[in-house]
Amino acid sequence: MKKLLFGFIALFAITSLSSCGYNSSVKLDEKVKASWGEVENQYQRRSDLIPNLVNTVKGAANFEKETLTQVIEARAKATSIQVDPTKLTPETIQKFQSAQGGLSQALGRLMVVSERYPELKANANFQELQAQLEGTENRITVARRDFNLSVQDYNTNIRTFPNNLFAGMFGFQQKGSFAAEAGADKAPKVAF
């Protein structure tokens, strides 16, 4: 009788611990996926603005075609990287971040070069697109921060006791997050 009672108590304890940890892990995993969806949404918003920006810039006389080509190619590369939200490993996040970083650099060069064209800077469409792009970059920053916080909550959950006992058994693996770009720890040099 004692063995049977002990068996029921052990089974109850294991079931309670695994169910509790499992449910919280599932909820946090879904939160990470939703946060990732918002990151992709904001990057897509930026990507959708680029053709209008490029067409507006093309209207400027003698605008550097190489710069436009770089933006177009960077956009194509960035949009070709698709990340499965169930496989948010550090490697896949880094690959995605690298492609998006290349697009950010190309857009930055475009904005710097556009400073040489007063008629472009005075163009209302260009000004509006530039403002929308700035707003989108801010949204991307917020979405990435929220994603990183979701990943941190999830990773902490699956690594803490008693959840860590069951996380591997149920297939919960640590997820990757966004990291600072290489060289972001150094202040840019400004010369006048």
Which pLDDT belongs to residue 18? 52
DSSP 1-60: -HHHHHHHHHHHHHHHHHHHHHHHHHHHHHHHHHHHHHHHHHHHHHHHHHHHHHHHHHTS
Instruction: Give residue limits of the domains in the chain.
Output: 2-167
* Residue 117, burial from CB neighbour count under 10 angstroms (0-12, 13-18, 19+): middle
pLDDT, tens digit, 9 for 90 and up, residues 130-148: 899 999 999 999 999 999 9
Instruction: Determine contact, residues 53/129, Cβ cutoff 8 Å.
Output: yes
Which pLDDT belongs to residue 122? 80
In angstroms and rounded to an integer, the radius of gyration of the C-alpha atoms of the chain is 24
Instruction: Determine contact, residues 68/154, Cβ cutoff 8 Å.
Output: no
Instruction: Report pTM.
Output: 0.79
Instruction: Determine contact, residues 165/67, Cβ cutoff 8 Å.
Output: no
81 compared with 116, residue with greater pLDDT:
81
Confidence grade of residue 65 (pLDDT, cut at 50, 70, 90): confident
Q: Helices 124-159 and 2-58, interaxial angle, to 10°?
A: 170
Mean pLDDT for the stretch of residues 91-103: 93
Rounded to 5 degrees, φ, ψ at 84 are -75, 120
Pinpoint the alpha helices (H) of 59-123: 65-80, 90-114, 118-121
Residue type, 154: Y
Confidence grade of residue 152 (pLDDT, cut at 50, 70, 90): very high
**pLDDT of 191 strictly over 60:** no
Instruction: Determine contact, residues 53/140, Cβ cutoff 8 Å.
Output: no
For domain 2-167, give the fold. de novo design (two linked rop proteins) (1.20.1440)
Mean pLDDT for the stretch of residues 163-186: 80
Answer positive or negative: Cα dihedral of 170, 23, 33, 98. negative
- The C-alpha atoms of residue 171 and residue 156 are separated, in whole angstroms, by 15
